[in-house]
Amino acid sequence: MNKQLYINEIQALFDEVQRSQIFEDQKTMSDAVSLFPVDEINSKYEKEKNVEGFDLKQFVLSNFDFLDTKTSVVREKHLPIDEHIEKLWDELTRTAYEERGTLLKLPKPYIVPGGRFNEFFYWDSYYIMLGLQVSGRVEMMENIIENCSYLIQTVGFVPNASRTHFLSRSQPPYFSLMLDLLFEITKSQNIYVKYHDTLEKEYAFWMNGEKDVDNNSAFKRVVKTANGDILNRYFDSENDPRPESYLIDIEDSENAGEEFFRNIRSACESGWDFSSRWFADGESIKTIETLNLAEVDLNCLLWHLEKTLSKSSSLQNLSEKENYFKKRAADRKQMINKYFWDEASGTYKDYHIKKNTTTPSEHVAALYPLFLKIVSKKQAESVAKNIEEKFLYQGGLITTTKNSGQQWDFPNAWAPYQWLGFQSMKNYGFDELAEKIKKNWCSNVERVYNNTGKLMEKYNAFDVETVAGGGEYPNQDGFGWTNGVYLKLKQN
């Protein structure tokens, strides 16, 4: 049975399953595939749940399929790491031509991250594409772009991941950067013309509400400062526990603010779930205030989208649109330096909408302005110094300087930021630092692979004798973006 499953259709049953913790991982039930019509399952549940001897787990196993909830990776002993990754591309390839449970259908095959992440993820796919580029798998790169375009054209944006319960949020908007990767291979600017309409639609999603926002306030993903300047923030349209982390969210929400769930979900849109970066006190998830922040990474990515739209308009001789997006990009570049540059610390930080100042959190997203080459040499030197002194450890670049126990904090090193760090330093001629970032992280990946036969989701940059931890679930292996970034770094 291929009926699309929406969690709210089985809310009472779903609530009991998650609260009862009959599965070790809360994501298991959110990925389930119903074997019978939902109304039939609900009816059976209502009739049987109060009957003596009712076995909840057995009921669920009889009415749902859980075959596709986890990716298992087949390994050959002593295979060189690059050969292992080549095999992994095939093992992590999926198709979803039909709706299956909560899984959204997609027109083309795609690559999943691995482990418990057995669906298409947005920003992961860009870093996977880096490796596909090295592997010469151009068709799969094109597939990923086609899937993103399909989602933007059908639902208005690329969801966090390709499941029905992610239809309230996106992830960092990398679509325009994906086009650049394909252009590097094909050298055909037709790619920008082909997807011009898709680029416009994604931009409209992020700027939705711009006309309805007042000075010194925010609406959806748009922020207007006290001076009337436009910035963007991460946002989620729902304010309920996440299905994939349902009980965790409910327990964390005790004594928290009224928009706790939306703040949690909005942090998920950033990809950084979770980090002290989002916490008002820098310590506790109960103080999460994502909605009060405009983020440097998001605004840099939207600058790139605006620049790309100016280019795609120019290629079609759409001079009015070209000038419009050129101005939007120029304005945003100015705003990035006005609102996110912190002179005192000599680096980029997020901007607190209500306090009208940069936030105290020191984090590696400060790399984005360098990665996209929108800062002066002097600013780049300052950021590079900051990165080398505070973020670079024996096993790679950490994400923040704070050890909170959250997975997007010290001491973890994540693949995306090793590439961002390497490329940012190369962009401004800091070649020695770029090589150090590459060497430290790649050697960490190789060490773990030699010891375990696994490529992990994240790594411990501080203690290279151990593996990374923290977060809501165990460290996963597979792993899409690690494979991609490792191959790309080794090629450079």
Residue 457 annotated among the catalytic residues of the structure = yes
Tokens of 164: 């029905």
- Give me the long-range contacts of 15-24 (CB less than 8 A, separation at least 24): 15/246, 16/49, 16/56, 17/56, 17/60, 18/243, 18/246, 18/247, 19/246, 19/247, 19/250, 20/56, 21/247, 22/56, 22/57, 22/60
Distances in whole angstroms, Cα of residue 405 to Cα of each of 190, 273, 469:
46, 12, 8
Per annotation, catalytic residue among 273, 289, 342, 477: 273
Dist CA 346 CA 338 (whole Å)? 13
Residue the block writes with tokens 């010891």: 451
Residue 273 annotated among the catalytic residues of the structure = yes
Per annotation, catalytic residue among 25, 269, 297, 457: 457
Active site positions, annotated: 273, 457
